[in-house]
């Protein structure tokens, strides 16, 4: 039956291509230039992708009536965004119906998922003015990024090129005011890019006010090394968000990262990265009784990762990577908890002919408190013609022992990158699944 369905889908796609030669007006189109995306272990051209990926470049973003990264993501299909405040102050992300904690959010390939709750995964440490492009991978990406990439991946890529200074200011009803600026300095060997933004409003009703401040800095040392630092502070009223009471929430986030590349060009052979992120959250369920329902949380994440690529021959390449890190939380409600994670992964890319690309990968993760998990994957892409591309991923998640996505809460400690509230009383059995998808693209 599955084979018959595949034949029917393929026949319908070919028939549509023949009947509607102008279908490229509404179907997915390949960019004029080769946009490099990170849906695999090593960046590949857009036309070689074997997975469903949406890419918005800086030019695309400039043409959009967007005021925040959340506004940009809202324009993409299969993304469900639920905002609790304007301008992306707090937003939940879901891909193809997944839970919020099953979407992995990256900034320049570094994870920013919060170990307290998936509600903070949309607290981007960068602003829209610093974004070069946005990439969204639909479907499981656990073979490359771990168990928390079950529903999809959102990767925010920041700008690396210098540009002239810029500034903007705007105002509106309810005492709304917003301002931002950016500045780049330096010579060919060292450059400094600094940006800042702020916004505020008294709110259109009681306890719907908000305030936000963000500062970002990136120092580039030659073409191989870079240091980034960011700070975000937010406050917003949440009247009626969590119940019939005027609530309020304060969040702050600091993130620093260091990157070093070995090799020349935009795609070096080896990339080494390290990062530290801390996120604070203070929540009052009812501001009229601040001493009755108050939660304070502080999470920390520290990580180091390295990946390399070798071209074995003109048709075959191999990528290897490793990652280690630690997460810990201090909370007056959830308590104090910590865990360490270690990961290794590999991916092989094979191009037997120019129109065919095959990817196979395998990742092992081990969590200090929850045990190991293994995630293999296999996918392929074939350009049948100028207007038709067939792709078929076969991502299988084989959960070994204590699987992170299967045991969300143990003894009051939330599992990494999960915010589901239930207690696992027994050891879960290993399980597997074949979430597959078939796609065909009609392009101009």
Can you give the pLDDT of all 444 residues of the chain as single tens digits? 555 555 555 555 554 444 444 333 333 344 444 566 767 777 777 777 777 888 888 888 888 888 888 888 888 888 887 777 677 777 788 788 777 778 888 998 888 888 887 777 778 888 888 888 888 888 777 778 877 787 888 899 888 776 778 888 999 998 999 998 888 888 778 888 899 999 999 888 888 889 999 999 999 888 788 999 999 999 988 888 778 888 898 999 999 999 998 876 555 688 899 999 999 999 999 888 888 888 899 999 999 999 998 888 888 989 999 999 999 999 888 888 888 999 999 999 898 988 888 988 889 999 888 788 888 888 888 888 877 888 777 644 433 333 333 333 322 333 333 333 322 223 333 334 444 444 444 443
What pLDDT does residue 36 have?
66
**Per DSSP, which regions of 35-102 are E strands?**
36-37, 44-45, 53-57, 79-83, 91-95
Calculate ∠ Cα 193-164-129, nearest 5°. Answer: 60
What pLDDT does residue 405 have?
38
C-alpha span between 191 and 185 (Å, rounded): 6
Calculate ∠ Cα 353-359-362, nearest 5°. Answer: 155
CB 401 within 8 A of CB 428: no
Stated as kind and residue range, the H or E segment containing 61 is helix 58-62
* Number of residues in the chain: 444
What pLDDT does residue 291 have?
81
Stated as kind and residue range, the H or E segment containing 341 is strand 337-350
Helix (H) and strand (E) counts for the chain? 4, 25
- Long-range contacts of range 57-65, CB-CB < 8 Å, 24 or more positions apart? 57/31, 57/132, 57/133, 58/131, 58/132, 58/133, 58/159, 60/133, 61/128, 61/131, 61/133, 61/134
Cβ neighbors of 265 (< 8 A, separation 6 or more) are none
Phi-psi label, residue 129: left if phi above 0, alpha if psi -120 to 50, beta otherwise:
alpha
Q: What is the reported pTM?
A: 0.79
What pLDDT does residue 8 have?
56
What pLDDT does residue 439 have?
43
C-alpha span between 192 and 185 (Å, rounded): 5
C-alpha span between 155 and 110 (Å, rounded): 9
Cβ neighbors of 286 (< 8 A, separation 6 or more) are 245, 246, 247, 292, 293
Q: Which of 73, 52, 137, 140 is nearest to 441 (CA)?
A: 52
Q: Which of 267, 237, 241, 231 is nearest to 249 (CA)?
A: 237
CB 341 within 8 A of CB 404: no
3-state secondary structure of 124: coil
What is the b/e burial string over 421-432, where b = at least 16 CB atoms within 10 angstroms of the residue's CB? eeeeeeeeeeee
Phi-psi label, residue 442: left if phi above 0, alpha if psi -120 to 50, beta otherwise:
beta
CB 391 within 8 A of CB 381: yes
What pLDDT does residue 213 have?
92
Q: Which of 397, 385, 386 is nearest to 436 (CA)?
A: 397
């Amino acid at each position: 039956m599955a084979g018959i369905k595949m034949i029917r889908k393929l026949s319908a796609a070919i028939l549509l291509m023949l009947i509607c030669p102008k279908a490229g007006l509404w179907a997915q189109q390949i960019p004029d230039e080769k946009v490099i995306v990170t849906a695999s272990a090593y960046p590949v051209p857009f036309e070689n992708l074997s997975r469903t990926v949406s890419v918005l470049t800086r030019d695309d973003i400039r043409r959009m009536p967007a005021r925040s990264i959340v506004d940009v993501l809202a324009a993409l299909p299969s993304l469900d965004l639920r905002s609790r405040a304007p301008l992306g102050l707090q937003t939940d992300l879901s891909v193809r119906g997944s839970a919020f904690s099953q979407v992995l959010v990256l900034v320049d390939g570094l994870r920013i998922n919060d170990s307290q709750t998936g509600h903070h995964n949309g607290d981007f440490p960068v602003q829209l003015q610093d974004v070069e492009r946005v990439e969204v991978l639909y479907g499981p990406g656990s073979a490359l990024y771990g168990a928390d990439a079950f529903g999809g991946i959102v990767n925010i890529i920041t700008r690396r090129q210098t540009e002239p200074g810029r500034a903007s200011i705007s105002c509106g009803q309810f005492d709304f005011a917003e301002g931002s600026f950016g500045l780049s300095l330096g010579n060919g060997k060292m450059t400094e890019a600094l940006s800042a933004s702020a916004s505020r409003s008294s709110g259109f009703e009681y306890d719907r006010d908000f305030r936000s401040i963000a500062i970002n800095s990136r120092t580039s040392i030659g073409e191989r090394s870079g240091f980034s630092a960011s700070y975000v502070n937010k406050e917003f009223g949440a009247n009626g968000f969590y119940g019939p009471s005027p609530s309020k929430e304060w969040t702050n986030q600091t993130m620093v990262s260091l990157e070093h590349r070995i090799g020349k060009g935009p795609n070096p052979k080896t990339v080494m990265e390290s990062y530290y992120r801390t996120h604070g959250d203070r929540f009052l369920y009812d501001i009229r009784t601040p001493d009755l329902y108050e939660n304070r949380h502080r999470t920390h994440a520290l990580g180091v990762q390295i990946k390399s690529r070798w071209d074995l021959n003109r048709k075959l390449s191999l990528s290897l990577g490793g990652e280690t890190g630690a997460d810990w939380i201090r909370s007056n409600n959830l308590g104090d908890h910590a865990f360490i994670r270690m990961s290794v992964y590999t991916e092989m890319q094979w191009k037997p002919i120019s129109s065919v690309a095959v990817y196979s990968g395998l990742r092992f993760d081990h969590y200090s408190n929850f045990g190991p998990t293994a995630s293999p994957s296999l996918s392929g892409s074939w350009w049948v013609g100028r207007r038709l591309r067939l792709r078929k991923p076969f991502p299988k998640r084989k959960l070994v022992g204590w699987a992170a996505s299967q045991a969300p809460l143990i003894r009051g400690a939330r599992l990494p990158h999960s915010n589901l509230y239930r207690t696992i009383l027994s050891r879960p059995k290993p399980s597997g699944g074949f979430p597959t998808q078939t796609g065909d693209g009609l392009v101009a």
